[in-house]
Amino acid sequence: MANGHQASGVVAQRLAPEEIAANFSDLHAPLAPHEAAVAADRCYFCYDAPCVTACPTDIDIPMFIRQIQTGHPEAAAKTIFDQNILGGMCARVCPTETLCEQSCVRETAEGNPVEIGRLQRYATDQLMAAEVHPFSRAAATGKTVAVVGAGPAGLSCAHRLAMLGHDVTVFDARPKAGGLNEYGIAAYKSTEDFAAKEVEWLLKIGGITLEAGKSLGAELTLAALQADYDAVFLSIGLAGVNALRLAQEEMPGVLDAVAFIAELRQAEDKGALPVGRNVVVIGGGMTAIDVAVQAKLLGAENVTIAYRRDRAAMPASRFEQDLAASHGVKLMFNVMPTAILGDGAVTGIELEYTRIHDGRVTGTGEKLTLAADQIFKAIGQTLEGVPEGLAIVGGKLAVTGPGRTSLDGVWAGGDCASGGEDLTVTAVAEGRDAAMDIHSTLTSC
Amino acid sequence: MADLTTEFLGIKSPNPFWLASAPPTDKEYNVRRAYEAGWGGVVWKTLGAEGPPVVNVNGPRYGAIYGADRRLLGLNNIELITDRPLQTNLEEITRVKKDYPDRALIVSIMVPCDEESWKAILPMVEATGADGIELNFGCPHGMAERGMGSAVGQVPEYITMVTEWCKQYYSKPVIVKLTPNITDIRRPAQAAFAGNADAVSLINTINSITSVNLDMMSPEPMIDGKGTHGGYCGPAVKPIALNMVAEIARDPVTHGKPISAIGGITTWRDAAEFMVMGAGNVQVCTAAMTYGFRVVQEMISGLSQWMDEKGYTSTADFIGAAVPNVVDWKDLNLNYISKAKIDQDACIKCGRCYAACEDTSHQAIWMKEDRVFEVNDAECVACNLCVDVCPIEGCITMERVAPGQVDLRTGKVVEEEYANWTMHPNNPMAVQAAE
Ligand SMILES: Cc1cc2nc3c(=O)[nH]c(=O)nc-3n(C[C@H](O)[C@H](O)[C@H](O)COP(=O)(O)OP(=O)(O)OC[C@H]3O[C@@H](n4cnc5c(N)ncnc54)[C@H](O)[C@@H]3O)c2cc1C
Ligand SMILES: Cc1cc2nc3c(=O)[nH]c(=O)nc-3n(C[C@H](O)[C@H](O)[C@H](O)COP(=O)(O)O)c2cc1C
Ligand code: SF4
């Protein structure tokens, strides 16, 4: 018997296995062929299409949609992969409501954009289901590149370099490749082990050696990599997390949201993950939304997101906010945590109302208390494990142009590098562009 | 609600919507249900001569062309005339006509092109009590190979000859159904009226191959690896039918003669367009085959609403109203000058007008910063392509340049007076006439 929503404390197996399975199924169901045809027919094939401009990887969206229209979804997928080798994952995780679909002229016209994300998934699914890899490698150049971090930035960079004929070694601290695709993205966005399957499919290009369990700063040093390889690409993401800086932050029940999600993503049996009856999430980004929704899906009774600014300032898009609300998550704005309550285990949290003064958050003095047996910190990740000698700007590796760091022969991209939003698709674009720059550097003498 | 009662050749029906001769009218069961659904009349599926009936293929007989969301835009068929015994059809026609005296019932006929055959069938049809006959000179496949259908409709002399026989051996109205598979529709129409036809109906289907199966290398519909050309109908053929109706309506020889219009009529608006173009009533096939008999209700309510809005009290009020405005190209006013204008508030910035004009027309649209699209009056020739490709209705309009103003493209002042090609200095004939 499942324990149910009302079981007090932090408990596992709140819901029956069938409920868990249903809760963590696809957020957006894949399109059936006729649905895809209807959706594709809505595209106007715009001139210099705004959606392409809005896509960080510049996928030729009108063209791939037209290829779906004319009955060639695999060719459509090729058009997508030409620009974005992780087009399958991006189709699932991109906040299209703030990217391509936001700029779709039908959004302007009717408030109802062409379903670009779902069409992209339709095309890429078809090609990937055929289990063929659509690219082949150019003649070997004899050059070698080390990529550190096997997240979307690293994988995208490695694939492009391998395609251009270079030999690539990808190192990652974790046992599995994929980065946050594997450990971070919400479980209902990447179902059926898609992240792992995508990595396997990507590696079919050949020329990429994966070295898991190797950390820069432990097994690896930048100096050694520079000595052993012709170029180095750093894509180590943001491995650290911000702290609340409150007393009792170490108390059981106060958790780092990213770590919890990683555990959930790796769990054989999601129901086995203990979740509170009363859950409070501190933060306002995608991570806050994801942890809140997933806590709900695991059977938490009350889940509240406490964000210190107003709704308009919330980094999570309106779509994400509504997604959380539709799952029964309560969104609170203009509140900040001031104390963690409990003795040995969390029992509640004290929040203070805020107002914004010159862009700064200040407390109003008015407070409230929420019951909580689990508190998730989702207030941002930080760069960690940066080797000596690399310039830093705004807490990230300083890069110019296509990912050039302050050191010759060292490039960086993705979340760890300056510039661009922290999104999967941005990481893919930066990895690809750095690869092109590495290629031209290595092949021009 | 306007009264839609329409009299055509003295035959009264509660509305001008008839079902064309085709599968929807192939038997008593269908026709009774069509009348119950509201159809004003039917033209019974074409009857052949007495004796063993024709046989149809046993594989697929239709091919299709689709628009968005698999909307059927064009249908093509290789069906023949009725494959049921003549006597069965005649008995059914007699019964149905008796039960529905207020609805029109026309019998379509196709028999070999000799006097004996027509002389034999006409009295039998007359005995049913039906209101008239329609001569099927249009079927472009199968029957044409046997010297009937469009094989007759393509030879004006045959049309006159057979029509004369019918007028001789049959006392009620004779409608001649024309094939569009000819060069000039006016010739067969003239021939029909020369034979004293009471009316012409058009169009029958257009010779066509809808698609090719690229695996089997065969036209569709494919039967055992082979296909044949069939007759095309449905929304896609409407513009062709509309032009042919207009040609007959404005031809001095046939002007004012009764026409029953057919071809792609799907909505009340299509029907109204054919009627203002000179048709006394309309016939429908594909729309009924696509959506069922119920569609007639939309046609009825739509046409009467439009009539109410326009103040028409009878269909006779507007039949032929647009015919005087169908002219030759040479009669169009060359001093009427307009320019495309883009409503910036309505524009959704898709850039389709730009691609169309820049790549394929007159480079008359500017793409400015922030995807602002504007017409350059100095280049616009008013071709209308931008209007046609714009996905937003009413966003781009054609605005007349008022007489007295300068046309920025030519630098000339727009003249008030009407002037056409026959008067234009570039026309060698005009120069000659002036001399
Ligand atoms: C919970 C959560 C949900 C998200 N949801 C979305 C979403 O829905 N849509 C979206 O577009 N984006 C989302 N993002 C953001 C997105 O996941 C990241 O922007 C993206 O993964 C960045 O890619 P990356 O390759 O730069 O870094 P990561 O994906 O973080 O990959 C970095 C890799 O480097 C490895 N690494 C780190 N340090 C070292 C070291 N010292 N030595 C060796 N290897 C190291 C890590 O193990 C990891 O595999 C989400 C992020 C989080 C945290
Ligand atoms: C399957 C099919 C069979 C037809 N059979 C006949 C026929 O027996 N006699 C005839 O005069 N026209 C026949 N037609 C032509 C229709 O009566 C009509 O002229 C043509 O379909 C155009 O009208 P629409 O666009 O409304 O379908 C047939 C059409 C179809 C689709
Ligand atoms: S009317 Fe023709 S020439 Fe004028 S702007 Fe439109 S497409 Fe260009």
Could you tell me if B281 and B353 lie in one domain?
Answer: no
Task: Please name the amino acid found at residue A104.
Answer: C
Looking at residue A445, its pLDDT comes to 66
Query: Quick one: average pLDDT of A205-229?
Result: 97
Write out chain B residues lying below 8 Å of A47, CB-based: 350-352, 354-355, 367
Contacts by residues B28-35 (CB-CB < 8 Å, ≥ 24 positions apart): B28/B92, B28/B95, B28/B96, B31/B92, B31/B96, B31/B105, B32/B96, B32/B99, B32/B100, B33/B293, B34/B288, B34/B293, B35/B96, B35/B100, B35/B103
In chain A, the number of structural domains is 3
A328-360 residue pLDDT tens:
999 999 999 999 999 999 999 999 999 998 889
A124-183 residue pLDDT tens:
999 999 988 999 999 999 999 999 999 999 999 999 999 999 999 999 999 999 999 999
Query: Among A95, A129, A163, where does a domain finish?
Result: A129
CA distance A94 to A102: 12
Could you tell me if B248 and B345 lie in one domain?
Answer: no
Beta strand B365-368 pairing with B218-220:
unpaired
pLDDT at B358 exceeding the cut of 80: yes
Query: Among A380, A400, A427, where does a domain finish?
Result: A380
Is the residue at B254 inside a domain?
yes
Query: Quick one: average pLDDT of A410-416?
Result: 98
- What is the ipTM for the molecules in this complex? 0.79
Q: Which of A34, A48, A108 sits opposite B351 (nearest CB)?
A: A48
A69-113 residue pLDDT tens:
989 999 999 999 999 999 999 999 999 999 999 999 999 999 999
In chain B, the number of structural domains is 2
B117-171 residue pLDDT tens:
999 999 999 999 999 999 999 888 888 888 888 889 999 999 999 999 999 999 9
pLDDT at B18 exceeding the cut of 90: yes
Residue A413 near residue A419, CB atoms below 8 Å: no
Q: Which of B349, B354, B355 sits opposite A105 (nearest CB)?
A: B349
Average pLDDT, chain B: 96
Could you tell me if B17 and B156 lie in one domain?
Answer: yes
Cα–Cα distance list, A144 to A156, A167, A413, A436 (Å) = 16, 5, 18, 14
B352 at the A interface (CB within 8 A)?
yes
Could you tell me if A268 and A183 lie in one domain?
Answer: no
CA distance B209 to B28: 32
Residue B176 near residue B200, CB atoms below 8 Å: yes
Looking at residue B139, its pLDDT comes to 83
Task: Please name the amino acid found at residue B347.
Answer: C
Could you tell me if A45 and A105 lie in one domain?
Answer: yes
CA distance B116 to A246: 108
Looking at residue B12, its pLDDT comes to 97
Is the residue at A295 inside a domain?
yes
Looking at residue B142, its pLDDT comes to 84
Residue A222 near residue A410, CB atoms below 8 Å: yes
**Nearest partner of A420 among A63, A174, A57, judged by Cα:** A57
pLDDT at B429 exceeding the cut of 90: no
Secondary structure element (H or E) that encloses residue A356, with its range: strand A346-357
Cα–Cα distance list, B78 to A95, A165, B21 (Å) = 51, 58, 14
Query: Quick one: average pLDDT of A192-200?
Result: 96
DSSP string, B192-243: HHHTT-SEEEE--PEEE--EEETTTTEEESPBTTB---EEEESGGGHHHHHH
pLDDT bracket for residue B263 (50, 70, 90):
very high
CATH code of B360's domain: 3.30.70.20
A366 at the B interface (CB within 8 A)?
no
Looking at residue B432, its pLDDT comes to 57
Q: Which of residues 277-296 of A touch B (CB under 8 A)?
A: none
Å between B352 CA and nearest CA of chain A: 6
pLDDT at A1 exceeding the cut of 80: no
Could you tell me if A182 and A67 lie in one domain?
Answer: no
Is the residue at A10 inside a domain?
no
CA distance B12 to B18: 12
Looking at residue A9, its pLDDT comes to 93
Could you tell me if B145 and B205 lie in one domain?
Answer: yes
- Residue among A105, A108, A110 with most chain B CBs within 10 A, to mutate: A105
Per cent of chain B over pLDDT 70 is 99
Could you tell me if A188 and A110 lie in one domain?
Answer: no
Domain span at residue B167 reads 6-325
Residue A133 near residue A67, CB atoms below 8 Å: no
Q: Which of B70, B367, B391 sits opposite A44 (nearest CB)?
A: B391
Could you tell me if B286 and B342 lie in one domain?
Answer: no
A105 at the B interface (CB within 8 A)?
yes
The set of protein residues with a Cβ atom below 6 angstroms from ligand 3 is: B 340, 356-357, 361-362, 364-365, 375, 380-386
A238-289 residue pLDDT tens:
999 999 999 999 999 999 999 999 999 999 999 999 999 999 999 999 999 9
The pick from B283, B285, B289 for probing ligand 2's pocket by mutation, whose C-beta has the most ligand atoms within 8 angstroms, reads: B285
Secondary structure element (H or E) that encloses residue B287, with its range: helix B286-291
pLDDT at B9 exceeding the cut of 80: yes
Domain span at residue A101 reads 33-129
CATH code of B98's domain: 3.20.20.70
pLDDT at B343 exceeding the cut of 70: yes
Looking at residue B431, its pLDDT comes to 56
B378-395 residue pLDDT tens:
999 999 999 999 999 999
Clarify whether B350 is annotated catalytic.
Answer: no
**Nearest partner of A371 among A386, A351, A349, judged by Cα:** A349
pLDDT at A305 exceeding the cut of 90: yes
> Other C-beta atoms within 10 Å of B101: how many?
9
Is the residue at A27 inside a domain?
no
